[in-house]
A and B are shown apart, each in its own frame.
Chain A
Amino acid sequence: MRLAGRFKPYSGPRLRLVVGLFGCIFCAIFIRLVVVQVFQHTYLRDLAERQYSRQITLNPERGRVLDRHGRVLATSVPVPSVYAIPQDIEDPDAIAPKVAQILGQPLATVKRQLESSSPFVWLARQLPPEVGERLQKLNIRGVQVLQETRRFYPKRYLAGQVLGFVGVDGVGLVGLEHLYNRELTGTPRRVTLQRDATGRTVQVIAGDPSDQPRGADLYLTLDERLQYVAEKELAARVQETQAKSGLVLIMHPPSGDILALASYPFFNPNDFQDPKQQVWQRNRAVTDPVEPGSTFKLVTASAALEENVAQVTDMFYCENGLFVRGGRRLRDHHPYGLLSFSQVIEKSSNIGTAKISERLSDDQLYTYIRRFGFGEKSLVNLPNEDGGLIRPPKKWSKPTHYSLAFGQEVTVTSLQLLAAYAAVANGGWLMRPRMVEHVVQGDESQFFAPQARHRVLSPQTLERINEILVGVVERGTGKQAAVEGYTVAGKTGTAQKVERGGYSHSKVLASFVGYVPAEVPQLAILVLIDEPQRAKWGGEAAAPVFKRVAQQALYYLQVPSRQTQTLSLETTLDPTPTPPPGDRESPRVTSSAGAKSGEREPARVALSAGPKTEKERRP
């Protein structure tokens, strides 16, 4: 009873006040809960997500550029860049000397940048990794290190003009880097991460940060080894002849594939900002048209034979080296008397060629010039191609017809000229030159198939032209282009350069264009030496380069010569298995013997056999 009395429940006004107070508090909490959880739910959820989650953009790694066998010619490497946020820097005077010392920059420049009023200043970009590490260790507030990618060309000068270069902002500015910039750059991708208060990543909310996006890889038709051979021999010859510059182009006639494009002086894309180099960054084989000179006689001779206005046995009097036609004095480099049609081309007589051209009308000559692809772009996948210049017949002056016959009053690019000779080597079919073979993006591959433009000459004419071009090397002006063990067909050219409104007597373009082996052509090669000082004729300055390049290229492509021993075995001695057709191996000859008369078969070198496997593409 005593207990019950002691704990008698109190139900007075104070208790009701406390209960009421707590009730109000709980009501307020409940109402607030409803407001937060129901009405402000979306807003607050977004606010929270913004605080703990962060969306980062994964910039794609720029795609690589590779040769026809998958050897890397251009790739991207992550490198540090340093920037400053001047408003975060407390004591620029104390920091500037440390930063300047590490960056190797003048103290005044760094100090000026650190005191800048701009919210963001680049201090240095694309530095060596160790410089970035040293700066990061200093842990200076307001000076940050950022990872960027730098384009790197491991083969340095090799095919520099073809590849072009990428600026510091990662945009292709010249060459294939510029032409295929969109494909090489790729598409950025976003990843959402959850971060803690210190900024560390707790977990990945959306996307896969390990799957770095990549731009497309570019597989060229170039062959690194042939390119090296072309560059090595060209550089040696330009130096020997004390010339100004030079070009060597190698083409695979059946496909139009450009296997090598060497332009001396070379250009190293790794040092594209070097002002000394900037003059040579242009790909002159496609951008700079020149007067071809005697190599253009191919067109005149082909037109005359195709139109059946002349026969190879026809005789032409060459006026002993001086002839006046259309008010112009035509000269030969040697005085000749009576020469046959073949001899006119073999000995490269301008007068004889002019007389051959007399049998053609202006329209006929013009038609054949255009038919060989001159006066229009060859549509090669290289940037800034020039189509050359050939005026229509109605704009010709009196001597134009004769000048055109031996390659004056017309400008062509080196690539156009080579493509014309490659057409003769390819059974008369003019091919569209090809520099890019594949663009590979992940599992997808865009293939640029070889394209035949049209047929230039009939098989009968081709056979005769081939004999004449072989004669040029065996008996004519191109003897120094002869390759031991192989039959070479080609033509020399020595074009006077235009100077002060007339033709220069001292400045010439010495050239040789041809193909080998003449029976079943595997390679068409053009050599052009600009302003040689020692050997001024095409047959002296350019033909030896043709010989050296062709010889090494034929060995590399394993094209048997007449002297090469070929042992045929019944059983395979090689313990390594034969690669499947899809695999890329060194170019090899599937068959090369036996020249046929009449319509010549296209060349049979299997230079490539389809795209590489995915495993080979990605390291």
Chain B
Amino acid sequence: MPPQPQATSAALIMSRGRARRIASRYVGMALLLSAVMVLGGVLLYLWPQVRLVGLGYRQSKLLAQRTQALQRQKELQVELGSLRQLRRIEEIAAQHLGLRPPQATQVIYVRSGQHVVGQRRE
């Protein structure tokens, strides 16, 4: 008769080793999953932060551009104001276009009720 207890003991050792391998595989997977989750969490936290910083840089750059544009607008408004000097306009009207002030008899006001038709507009 073959020795039965020895065979049982070997099988038991085999099954224990298998169980240990299986267990260590699960532990490894759990650890891997945890690491992935932690990494994912870190990425989820960091990504908006990095994005926020990037947007902050972009915002400050756009603000600087806006300031420059406003400054340019102001310069152009001043230039427009200078060009609209009545002295200059009158010179152009009189010398280049040959215009002259109307005589009293040449002025006609056309009215409809209280509203002056063709009234001067700014």
Name the residue of chain B whose CB is nearest to the CB of A562: B104
A584 CA / B121 CA spacing, docked (Å): 9
A578 contacts partner chain B, Cβ-Cβ < 8 Å: yes
Q: Does A228 lie at the interface of the complex (its beta carbon under 8 Å from any beta carbon of B)? A: yes
Interchain CA distance A560-B111 in the complex, whole Å:
11
Taking the complex as formed, is B41 at the interface, i.e. its CB lies under 8 A from any CB of chain A? no
Partner of A567, one of B85, B87, B109, B113: B109
| Nearest Cβ on chain B to A486's Cβ, whole angstroms | 9
Residues in B whose Cβ lies below 8 Å from that of A232: 87, 90
Flag A64-86 by CB within 8 Å of B: 1 or 0 each: 00000111100111100000000
A567 to B107, CA, bound (A): 11
Docked pose: A156 CA to B82 CA in angstroms: 8
**A111 interface hit (Cβ, 8 Å):** no
B119 to chain A, nearest CB (A): 6
Give the distance in Å from the alpha carbon of A18 to the alpha carbon of B44 in the complex.
38
Q: Say whether A203 contacts B52, CB under 8 Å.
A: yes
Query: Are the C-beta atoms of A569 and B110 separated by less than 8 Å?
Result: yes
- Whether a CB of chain B sits under 8 angstroms from the CB of A590 is yes
Which A-B residue pairs are the 10 nearest by beta carbons? A154-B81, A203-B56, A201-B60, A228-B86, A586-B120, A569-B112, A202-B56, A572-B112, A567-B110, A565-B108
A564-B104 CB under 8 A given contacts A77-B74, A588-B116: yes
B121 touches A576 (CB 8 A): yes
Assess the A72–B108 pair: CB atoms within 8 A: no
Which A residues lie within 8 Å of B80 (CB)?
A: 154
Q: Which A119-166 residues have C-beta < 8 A from chain B?
A: 129, 152, 154-156, 158
Residue B102 at the chain A interface, CB threshold 8 Å: yes
Of chain B, the residue at the smallest CB distance from A559 is B109
A204 & B111 in contact (Cβ 8 Å cutoff): no
Residues of B within 8 A of A72 (CB): 77, 81
* Chain A residues with a Cβ under 8 A of chain B: 69-72, 75-78, 129, 152, 154-156, 158, 193-194, 200-204, 209-210, 212, 224-225, 228, 232, 484-485, 552, 555, 558, 560-561, 563-574, 576, 578, 584-586, 588-590, 619
Chain B contact residues, CB within 8 Å of chain A: 52-53, 55-57, 59-60, 63, 66, 70-71, 73-75, 77-78, 80-82, 84-87, 90, 101-102, 104-105, 107-122
B86: chain A residues within 8 A (beta carbon): 158, 224-225, 228
| A555, closest chain B residue (CB) | B107
A339 to B101, CA, bound (A): 41
Choose one: B85, B104, B108; the contact of A485 (CB below 8 Å): B104
Partner of B117, one of A203, A485, A569: A569
A260 to B86, CA, bound (A): 14
For the complex with contacts A228-B87, A573-B117, A588-B116, 19 further pairs of A-B residues with Cβ separation under 8 Å are A71-B122, A75-B74, A200-B57, A200-B60, A201-B56, A202-B53, A203-B60, A210-B63, A232-B90, A558-B109, A560-B109, A564-B108, A565-B108, A567-B110, A568-B111, A574-B112, A578-B115, A586-B120, A590-B114
In the complex, chain B residues whose CB is within 8 Å of the CB of A129: 75
Q: A564's contact among B57, B60, B109, by CB below 8 Å, is which?
A: B109
Q: Shortest CB–CB separation between residue B90 and chain A, in angstroms?
A: 8
Is the CB–CB distance between A572 and B117 below 8 Å?
yes
Residues of A within 8 A of B119 (CB): 558, 574, 585-586, 588
Interface centre among B60, B73, B82 (most CB of A within 10 A): B60
Residues of B within 8 A of A566 (CB): 108-111
B118 contacts across to A, CB distance below 8 A: 573-574
Give min CB distance, B2 to chain A, whole Å.
24
Bound CA–CA A558/B119 (angstroms):
9
Q: Name A228's closest neighbour in chain B (CB-CB).
A: B86
**CB nearest neighbor in A for B102:** A555
Q: B residues within 8 A CB of A586?
A: 119-122
User: Which residues does chain A contribute within 8 Å of B113, judged by CB atoms?
Assistant: 572
Which of chain A's residues has its CB closest to B114's CB?
A590
Q: How far is the CA of A380 from the CA of B53 in the complex (A)?
A: 56
In the assembly, what is the distance between CA of A220 and CA of B107, in Å?
A: 29
A545 → B minimal CB distance (Å): 16
Cα–Cα, bound, A588→B114 (Å)? 10
Inter-subunit contact B108/A154 (CB<8 Å): no
- 6 interchain pairs (CB within 8 A)? A69-B122, A158-B85, A200-B57, A563-B105, A567-B108, A572-B115
Give the distance in Å from the alpha carbon of A590 to the alpha carbon of B115 in the complex.
8
Expressed in whole angstroms, the Cα–Cα distance for A201 and B111 within the complex equals 60
Chain A min CB distance to B110 (Å): 5
Residues on B with C-beta less than 8 A from A584 are 122
Query: Shortest beta-carbon distance, B83 to chain A, in Å?
Result: 9
Per the bound structure, the CA–CA distance linking A613 and B87 in Å amounts to 28
CB distance from A351 to the nearest CB of B (A): 38
Which residues of B lie under 8 Å from residue A578 when comparing CB positions?
Answer: 115
CB distance from B61 to the nearest CB of A (A): 9
- What residues of A have a CB within 8 angstroms of the CB of B114 in the complex? 590
